[in-house]
Amino acid sequence: MREDPALAVTGLEKRYRATPVVAALDFTLERGEILGLIGPNGAGKTTTLRMLTGFVAPTRGRIEVLGRDRRTEGLAANRQIGYLPENAPLYAELRVGEYLYLRARLKGLDRRAGRTRVAAVLDALDLAPAARRLIGQLSKGYRQRVGLAAAILHEPAVLILDEPTIGLDPTQSRQFRELVLALKGRHSILISSHILIEIEKACDRVLLLHRGRRLALAAPARLLELEGSVGSVVLEAAGAPEATHAALSGLVGLGEIRREETGDPAWSRFVVRTAGAPAPLESIGRALCAAGIPVRELRSEGMDLETIYHRRLEEEAAGP
């Protein structure tokens, strides 16, 4: 029997007077998945997250958390969600350990369980050395860790993060992304961010919103394929270049095949235009393997998630 997804959203809508902020939104967050939520300012990302977490009531639509309808089982749904808003509600005058213990008690943990859980979270997020430091004295990166620690204290099944790396430097962003990836096995994670390279590296799927509506929902690699955006494939193969050219020429959907010098007579370099061929890396790799041609490099060149993001928004703005 198939398990309910971590989150199931159907026909979600939020209107302020006559203005739709989120409209007819459908998506799921599968168990154990990291789903990235992207879109320009005003796309409805934060409103969507606030509806999912119960801070804003939807105008219409259905939200299920592990199969529980938020409208009729709101408290049970809340217990399964950990939420880190863009501006985490931290108390600068408290020490890290004190603040987390306070949050644990507010989440319903008794004294013993609260202390045990705080110690575990401090260790998991590498915060133990900062346990006795005042939150107001911490760097932005460490304050985000404290906010994340507070969100997972009650061991929620679903973790929702709204712009968690905003204001962090590149090193802090990378460290935070690694923390999130380490939590993936214990939580299903929905993360909103403007930093598309972070989303591309961390997420299993990406949900693109524009004006409250869904423009795309797919794995980053699948979005690249759907856009025909690999552009070209670069490969280096051993043996006679004619044999490599012949193996590639038999594939459907490839365009120009251009040979380049590598400086090594034993290896030939080719740049192949894919012309929108489906799964070009896979098909080229299979063809060369079937022909018995050794390969030391096989990679794609072309658009990334950021390019696709801007292309989709431009197409939407242009209209039909």
- State the pairing for strand pair 257-260/81-84: unpaired
Cα angle at 53 between 165 and 109, to 5 degrees? 90
Query: Residues 141, 283: one domain?
Result: no
Q: Are residues 43 and 186 in the same domain?
A: yes
| Domain contains 189 | yes
Residues 121 and 252 in one domain: no
Within-domain flag for 2: no
Per-residue pLDDT tens for 294-304?
Answer: 999 998 776 56
Asked whether residue 160 falls in the same domain as residue 26, the answer is yes
* Residue 316: inside a domain: no
Two tokens, residue 166 = 């905003």
Q: Is the dihedral of CA 98, 101, 105, 111 positive or negative?
A: negative
Question: Using one digit for the tens of pLDDT, what is the confidence trace for 138-185?
Answer: 999 999 999 999 999 999 999 999 999 888 888 888 889 999 999 998
Specify the number of domains making up the chain: 2
pLDDT for 262-275, tens place per residue? 788 889 999 887 76
Residue type, 159: L
246 shares a domain with 140: no
What is the pTM (predicted TM-score) of this model?
0.75
* 250 is a domain residue: yes
Judged against a pLDDT cut of 80, whether residue 226 lies above it is answered with: no
Domain around 250: 230-301
Rounded to whole angstroms, the Cα distance separating 32 from 252 reads 36
CATH number, domain of 257, equals 3.30.70.260
Exposure of 36 by Cβ count < 10 A (0-12 exposed, 13-18 middle, 19+ buried)?
buried
CA proximity to 85, closest of 60, 121, 123, 49? 49
Is residue 8 classed as helix, strand or coil in its secondary structure?
A: strand
Give percent of the chain above pLDDT 70.
92
Report how far residue 312's alpha carbon sits from residue 229's, in angstroms, rounded to the nearest whole number: 12
Structural domain contains residue 114: yes
pLDDT at 282: 85
